[in-house]
Amino acid sequence: MTFQRPTFRHPELPPNAAGYTRREYEGGLSTLCAGCGHDSICNAIIQACFELALEPHRIVKLSGIGCSSKTPAYFLNRAHGFNTVHGRMPSIATGANMANRDLIYLGVSGDGDTASIGMGQFVHAVRRNLDMLYIVMNNGCYGLTKGQYSATADKGTRSKKGGVNPLESIDLCELAIQLGAGFVARSFAGDKRQLVPLIKAGLAHKGLSFIDVISPCVTFNNNPESTKSYHWVREHSEATGTVDFVPFRQTIDADYDDDAVATVVLHDESEIRLHKHSPDVDVTDRRQAIDSLEDHKAEGVILTGVLYVNPESMDTHEILNTSLRPLNSLTEADLCPGGDILEKINAAHR
Amino acid sequence: MKQLAAVNNFVIRFANVNGSGSASANNLFAKAVFRMGVPVSPKNIFPSNIQGLPTWYEVRVNEAGHVGRRGGYDLVVAVNGQTLRQDYDGLEPGGYFLYDSSRPLPEDFLRDDVTLIGIPLTHLVNEAVANVRMRPLLKNILYVGALAALFDMDLAVLADSLRRQFEKNPKLAEPNIHALEIGHAYARGHFPDTCRLKVQQSDRVGDAIIMDGNTAAALGALYGGATVVGWYPITPSTSIIEAFGRYAGKYRVEADTGRLRVAIVQAEDELAAIGIVIGASWNGARAFTATSGAGVSLMTEFLGLAYFAEVPTVLIDVQRVGPSTGMPTRTQQSDLLACAHASHGDTKHPLLLPCDPRECFDMTADAFDLAERLQTPVIVMSDLDLGMNDHFGPPLAWDPARRYDRGKVLDADRLEALTTTWGRYLDTDGDGIGSRTLPGTHPERGVYFTRGTSHDEYSAYTEDSGAYLRTMERLALKWQTARTLVPRPRIRASSPPSRLGAIFFGSTTPSAYEALEELGARGLAIDTLRLRAFPFPPEVFDFINRRELVFVIEQNRDGQMRTLLISEGDLAPERLVSITSYDGLPVASRFLVQALESALAERGVSIPPAVPGQGETP
C-alpha cells in the first residue's frame, strides 16, 4: 500500500529558487521498518533536489526490486516513476534516457538488485556512462526475503542469526571507477551532512554518477558484528574530506579551515569543492582513487566521500552522436524518408 | 539416357565450402535470372560456422512465379569435396552433375540417370589467374560462366551485373568478367547441347524486387519512426539491426549538425536489449529490438512487465531451429507458443505474421502503431528463411498520407483541460485501454508510477483482489480490441466453398499455395486462409466452421499454430489436421503435396495422380 503524507505544513516554509517548497519534493509515507537507513537516504534525495531547485516533474525516478527499490514511492511525488523488475533498472533507464536526454534520471537500487541479479546491467550502464545518478542503498542483505547475505556483505561478517559470511564481498565503487563512471562516491545513510552535497554533485555531473550509500538494515543486519551496522560504520569510517557542491552561478562562503581544497568543475560549470583531510590523493586520478580505497580497506576502514570524479567523460548520447533534440519529440517529418527514397531503395533491389 | 528438360523451370543447387566467397557468385547467377525477367528464388543453406564447413545455395528458376522451395534439385554444381557423394546421390533422376574435373570422379560414381559435366575449374583458373589469392573467388565466377553457356543465357547480363557490383572498384570487374568468359567458352566448346535446362528472356518480373526480409523489416522500422534500438547480436536477426543502422546513417542524419536521429545501443544481453526498448517506449520514443528464439527466452521476464504495466514494445523474432541453441542457421516457425504467451502469469501478446519482404516492411511499421495503440508488446514473427534469404516479391510502398498512430497519449494541453481525475489505467471508452502520459509533460498533472506489481486504475499499488480482477478483465477486453485492429487473414475460397480448407502463414505461404494449386489442378479444391496475425479475427473461425476438415500447415513439430487456433477458438481438435515440416530447411512444395495426399488417403480421399510437371521428362 502507499500511504499519503499529511499535507499540513508551516505556512511560511520558504520556497527554493524555482518557486517550490520542500513539500513538493516529498512522496508517500514509507512502509519500511522504523529506523531503516533507506528513509534517511530518501530525505537526503528530497533535500538535494529541493536545494538544487530542480523542477520535480523533470526528474524520472527508476528502481528495480527490493526494499530500496520501493523507496521511489517515498520521494518526488511529482516525478514519473518506474519500478521495474529485479536487477533490470539500468536497461530501462538506458532506454528512457535515449528517448529524452533533457530529463534528469535518478535510479535507486539495492545491493542485491545491483551486485547480484543486476550485476550485468549495472556494469554495462556504467561502461556506457549513461547520464544518470545511480544510488545503491547498501545494507549487505536481502531484507524483503528476511535477511540472507548479499554480495556486498563483507567476508567474515556475522549476521543476526549468527552465521558467518564465507564469501568475498564486491566493492561496487571500485568496480564503477574501473569501468568508467565519471563520478563515484560512498556515504552513510546516517551522515546527512555528507550525503546531501554528494547527491547534488551526482545529479549535476553529466554521465554516470554512482553513490554507494551504506544503509543499515535495522531488522536483519544491524547487530554490532555486522560491518553494515550503524555502530560499526560510525566507528570505522573515514571521509575523503568535507564536500561542498556549488551549483553554477551560486556562490557560497566556505567556512572551513582549508588545509587543501580541491575544486572540480563539472560540465554545467557547477563546482565540487572537496576540503580534504589528506592532500595526497587526487580524486580525478583513477589509479589513486582505487589505491586509496584499497589502502583504507586494508586498515579496516570504510572510505567515504567523493572517491573519483572525471568531468570530461562522454555520456552515451555523446558517444552515439545523437540529436540534441529529444528523440521522443521527433515527428514523421523528421523520421520518415518518404516515398521517393523508398522507390530508390526498390530500384537498388532489382 | 533420361535427361530433365525444362525452360525457366528448374532447381539448381550449388555445393560449396563456407567462407570461400561462393555466395556472391551464386547470387550473381540468381540476379541474372531475375534480370532476364524470370521469377527466381535463391536460398542459402549454411552452417553455424565462419569458414570450412559445407554450405549449399539453392536457386529455383520458375516462370510461373512459384518462389517457395520445391524440393529436390535438377542440376548441382558440386565443388565441395566433402559433400561430393551426398550431392551426387541426391540429384534428381535425369539431372546434371557439374563438377571440377581437375580431379577425376571416384570410380563408384556409377549412376546411369545422371549427365556428368566435368569442367576443369581448378586448372582453368590456375592457367588464367596469376594472383593466387584471387583464384578461389574467380573459380566460383568461372562456373557461373559455364552455367550461362549450359543454360543459353546472355553473358552480357552477367557481365553487366558484375560491373554494377564493382561500380566503386572497376578494376576488380575485369578479372571477374574474364573468368566468366573462360568458363563460358569452355562449357560451350566441350558441352554444346548437353544440358536441356534453359533460361530464356521473359517478362514475368514486372516491378518486383528481390530483397531479404531482414532488410525489409529494418526499412519498416525506419519508415515507422523507430528512434531507439536496443539489441544483442544473434543469428538470424542481426542483419536487421545492421541494415537499420546503415539506412539510419543515410536517412537519419541532421543536415546542420551531423547528429543522428536515432540511438542504437548494443546491449550486454537480450534482457537489457528489451529493457532498453521498454524504457524508451515508456518515455515516448518508438523503439524496437530484433532477436531469435533463444533471445525471446531471455526477454520473457520483461515481456510480462510490458504486458502488465502496459508499455508499448516492438520485438521482431526471426525464428530459427530450437529447442535451446538448436540449429542456429536453419529455419523454423517454432516460437509461436513461446511468443504468444511469453512470460509467467496470464499473458498474451499480439503476433504479426509476414509472408514476404513487403509484409516484413508493412508489418514492422504497423507494429509500432499497434503497440502504441494497444499499449502492449507486439511481436513480428519472421524466420531465418524469410529474414536472411532474398525473396522475389512486390516492391515496398509507403502511403505519403500515412501518419503514425501514437495511441492515447495526453500532452500538456490535454492534461490542462482535464475536468475529471485522470487515472493511468482508467478505461473511459470501453476498449480496455487507458491513456498514458510521458515524464516531464506537466508540472502537476498526469504523473503516475509504473510498476509490475498489482495496481489500481490510478496506478497505486494494491493487493486488493477486486482491483486485481478489474485489471485482468480489462486486459482481456483489450485483447478483444486487438482482435479488431490486427491485419485480417487472406482467404481464397471456391464457390460454393470446398469441404476442405488449409491454413498457413509466414514463410510457408509460397510452397503451400503451390502445393494446393497442384492438388487443385488434379481436381481436389482446397480453400485457403493465410493467417496474418494473432489474435485471430473472427473470419478465421468462420472459415474453419464452414469446412469439414482444415489442414494447418506449419514449420514446427507440435503444430503450435493449430494449438493456438484450438485454444483461442475453443475448437474440437479433430477438425484441424496438422501438416508439419520442421527439418530446418524451408518447407518444400513437393513435400507438402505428399503430406496432404497421405493425410487425405488416411481419411479415404484419393486424388488422381500427378500429370507430368516441371522438371520431369515425359
Rounded to 5°, angle at Cα B270 from B269 and B271: 90
Three-state DSSP class for B1? coil
**Residue B8: C-alpha distances to residues B64, B102, B554 (Å):** 9, 30, 28
Choosing among B265, B298, B313, which should be mutated to test the A contact, i.e. which has the most A CBs within 10 A? Answer: B265
As a whole number of angstroms, the distance between CA B376 and CA B372 comes to 7
Beta strand pairing status for A104-110 and A132-138? parallel
Is A57 within 8 Å of B395 when comparing Cβ atoms? no
Which residues in chain B are closer than 8 Å to A316, comparing Cβ atoms? Answer: 263, 265
pLDDT digits (tens, 9 = 90+) for A170-193: 999 999 999 999 999 999 998 999
A to B CB pairs, distance under 8 Å: 229
Beta bridge partners of A62: A82, A107
d(CA A195, CA A45): 9
Which residue of A73, A324, A328 is in closest CB contact with B259?
A324
d(CA B525, CA B552): 16
Q: Does A300 contact chain B (CB < 8 Å)?
A: no
Chain B residues within an 8 Å CB radius of A341 = 251
pLDDT per position as a tens digit, B147-190: 999 999 999 999 999 998 888 888 889 999 999 999 999 999 99
Q: Average pLDDT, stretch A85-113?
A: 97
Closest by Cα among A161, A152, A302 to A237: A302
Cis peptide preceding B535, ω within 30 of 0: yes
CB A76 within 8 A of CB B263: no
Nearest-CB residue to B279 (from A83, A93, A334): A93
Over 80: is that where the pLDDT of A160 sits? no
Based on the number of CB atoms within 10 Å of its own CB, is B607 exposed (0-12), middle (13-18) or buried (19 or more)?
Answer: middle
pTM reported for the whole predicted model: 0.96
In this model, does residue B380 exceed pLDDT 90? yes
Q: Collect all residues of chain A within an 8 Å Cβ-Cβ radius of residue B449.
A: 72-73, 80-83
What is the C-alpha separation between B4 and B70, in angstroms, rounded? 15
Q: What is the C-alpha to C-alpha distance for residues A183 and A198, in angstroms, rounded to an integer?
A: 10
**B197-226 average pLDDT score:** 98
In the numeric block, which cell numbers belong to residue A291? Answer: 589505491
User: pLDDT-derived band of residue A2, with 50, 70 and 90 as boundaries?
Assistant: low
Spatial contact of B486 and B535, defined as CB atoms under 8 Å apart: yes
pLDDT in tens, B304-354: 999 999 999 999 999 999 999 999 999 999 999 999 999 999 999 999 999
CATH of A22-243+281-329, one of 1.10.10.10, 3.40.190.10, 3.40.50.970, 3.40.309.10: 3.40.50.970
pLDDT of res. A277: 60
Distance CA A184, CA A283 (A): 10
Report how far residue B512's alpha carbon sits from residue B68's, in angstroms, rounded to the nearest whole number: 8
Instruction: Calculate what percentage of chain B has a pLDDT beyond 90.
Output: 93
Domains within chain B, CATH numbers bracketed: 6-198 (3.40.920.10), 211-393 (3.40.50.970), 412-485 (no CATH), 490-602 (3.40.50.920)
- Find the mean pLDDT for residues A89-108: 98
Question: How close does chain B come to A151, measured CA to CA in Å?
Answer: 21
Which helix (H) or strand (E) is B500 found in, with range? strand B500-505
Which of B36, B212, B227, B274 to probe the A interface (max A CBs under 10 A)? B227
Residue with the three cell numbers 564486491:
A170
Please indicate whether residue A254 or residue B64 has the higher confidence score (pLDDT): B64
The 10 Å Cβ neighbour count of residue B94 is 18
A58, A331, A338 ranked by CB distance to B440: nearest: A58
Question: A332-346 b/e with 16+ CB inside 10 Å = b?
Answer: eeebbbeeebbeebb
Domain ranges (residues) in chain A: 22-243+281-329
Which member of A80, A93, A322 has the closest CB to residue B447? A80
Q: Mind telling me how many Å the CA of B226 is from chain A's nearest CA?
A: 8
Using DSSP's 3-state secondary structure scheme, residue B578 falls into strand
Which chain B residues have a beta carbon less than 8 Å from that of A81? 448-450
- Output the pLDDT for position A221: 86
Give B502 or B496, the one with higher predicted confidence.
B502
Q: In the 8-state DSSP scheme, what is residue B608? A: P
Three cell numbers, residue B176 = 571477374
Which one of B168, B241, B274, B283 makes the best mutation probe of the A interface by having the most chain A beta carbons within 10 Å?
A: B283
Within an 8 Å CB–CB cutoff, is residue A129 touching chain B? no
- ipTM value for the complex: 0.96
Banded model confidence at residue B40, pLDDT cuts 50, 70, 90: very high
Confidence class for position B612, pLDDT limits 50, 70, 90: low
pLDDT tens readout for residues B553-599: 999 999 999 999 999 999 999 999 999 999 999 999 999 999 999 99
B123-152 pLDDT per residue, tens:
999 999 999 999 999 999 999 999 999 999
From the list A2, A85, A339, which residue is nearest B460 (CB)? A2
| Cα B417 to Cα B387: distance, rounded to the nearest angstrom | 47
What whole-number distance in Å separates Cα of residue A64 and Cα of residue A55?
A: 24
Nearest CA in chain B to A318: B259
Q: Using an 8 Å Cβ cutoff, are B584 and B331 in contact? A: yes
Q: Phi then psi for A128, rounded to 5 degrees?
A: -85, 5
Give the separation between CA B15 and CA B22, rounded to whole angstroms.
9
Distances (CA, A) of A132 to A104, A108, A180: 7, 10, 13
User: Is residue A72 helix, strand or coil?
Assistant: helix
**A107 has a chain B CB within 8 A of its CB:** no
pLDDT at A158: 81
Residues in chain B, overall count? 618
The residue that leads in pLDDT, B494 or B93, is B93
Nearest partner of A216 among A226, A228, A224, A227, judged by Cα: A228
Backbone angles phi, psi at B182, to 5 degrees: -65, -45
Q: DSSP letter at B414?
A: H
Average pLDDT of chain A to the nearest whole number: 89
Q: How confident is the model at residue A220 (pLDDT cuts 50, 70, 90)?
A: confident
Q: Which residues contact B548 (CB under 8 A, 6 or more apart)?
A: B499, B500, B575
How far apart (Å, rounded) are the C-alpha atoms in residues B118 and B453? Answer: 70
Using a CB-CB cut-off of 8 Å, the residues of chain A touching B275 are: 84, 88, 90-92, 94-95, 121
Closest by Cα among A77, A72, A69, A76 to A112:
A69
| Strand boundaries in B68-200, DSSP class E | 75-78, 96-100, 115-119, 197-198
Q: Is A328 in contact with B34 (Cβ distance < 8 A)?
A: no
Q: Which residues contact B181 (CB under 8 A, 6 or more apart)?
A: B145, B155
pLDDT per residue as tens digits for the range B224-275: 999 999 999 999 999 999 999 999 999 999 999 999 999 999 999 999 999 9
- C-alpha grid cell for residue B281? 517506449
Q: Which residue of B has its CA nearest to A335?
A: B225
A280 contacts: CB under 8 Å, gap ≥ 6: none
Residues of B in contact with A109 (CB under 8 A): none
Hey, what's the cell of B419? 475536468
CB-CB neighbours of A77 under 10 Å: 20
Angle formed at CA B383 by CA B379 and CA B389, multiple of 5 degrees: 135
**What are the grid coordinates assigned to B341, written together?**
504467451
CB burial readout A176-208, b (16+ within 10 A) else e: bbbbbbbbbbbbbbbbeebbbbbbbbbbbbbbb
DSSP state of B134: G
Residue A47: all three cell numbers together? 533535500
The predicted structure's pLDDT at residue A44: 97
pLDDT given for residue A256 in this prediction:
46
Q: What is the pLDDT of residues B508-554, one digit of tens each?
A: 999 999 999 999 999 999 999 999 999 999 999 999 999 999 999 99
pLDDT at residue B435 in the model:
98
CA B31 to mean position of chain CA atoms: 19
Looking at the complex, does the CB of residue A56 fall below 8 Å from at least one CB of chain B?
yes
Angle between helix axes B121-128 and B135-150 (nearest 10 degrees) is: 120
Closest chain B residue to the Cα of A324, Cα to Cα: B259
Tell which phi-psi region holds residue B559, choosing left (phi > 0), alpha (psi between -120 and 50) or beta.
left
**Shortest distance, CA A335 to any CA of chain B (angstroms):** 5
- Which residue of A327, A329, A342 to mutate against B (max B Cβ within 10 Å)? A327
Chain A contacts of B209, Cβ < 8 Å?
Answer: 346, 349-350
Helix ranges (DSSP H) in A147-278: 172-178, 192-204, 230-235
Q: Which residues of A touch B267 (CB under 8 A)?
A: 91, 94, 124
Across the interface, whether the CB atoms of B451 and A128 are under 8 A apart is answered no
pLDDT band at A251 (very low <50, low <70, confident <90, very high): very low
Band of the pLDDT at A224, cuts 50, 70, 90? confident
Which pLDDT value is given to residue A252?
A: 44
CB contact under 8 A, B403 and A332: yes
Distance (Å) from the alpha carbon of A88 to chain B's nearest alpha carbon: 7
Sign of CA dihedral B559, B560, B561, B566: positive
Peptide bond into B609 cis (omega under 30): no
Q: Which three cell numbers mark A305?
A: 566521500
B135: Cβ contacts below 8 Å, ≥ 6 apart: B125, B126, B129
**B372 in Cβ contact with B406 (< 8 Å):** yes
Taking an 8 Å cut-off on Cβ atoms, the answer to whether B280 and A332 are in contact is no
Interface check A259 vs B, CB under 8 A = no
Q: A157: which 3 cell numbers?
A: 561478517
End-to-end CA distance of chain A: 61
Determine how many CB atoms are found less than 10 A away from the CB of residue B481.
15
Q: Do the beta carbons of residue A95 and residue B280 sit within 8 Å? A: yes
CA A239 – CA A255 distance, rounded (Å):
18
Tally of CB atoms within 10 A around A1? 11
What are the counts of helices (DSSP H) followed by strands (DSSP E) for chain B?
A: 19, 23
B362: left (phi over 0), alpha (psi -120 to 50) or beta: alpha
Residue-wise pLDDT tens digits, B560-571:
999 999 999 999
**CA dihedral of B423, B428, B433, B437, whole degrees rounded to 10:** -40
User: Of all residues in chain A, what percent carry a pLDDT higher than 90?
Assistant: 65
Residues of chain B positioned with their CB less than 8 A from the CB of A317: 263
- The span from the CA of B47 to the CA of B50, in Å, is 8
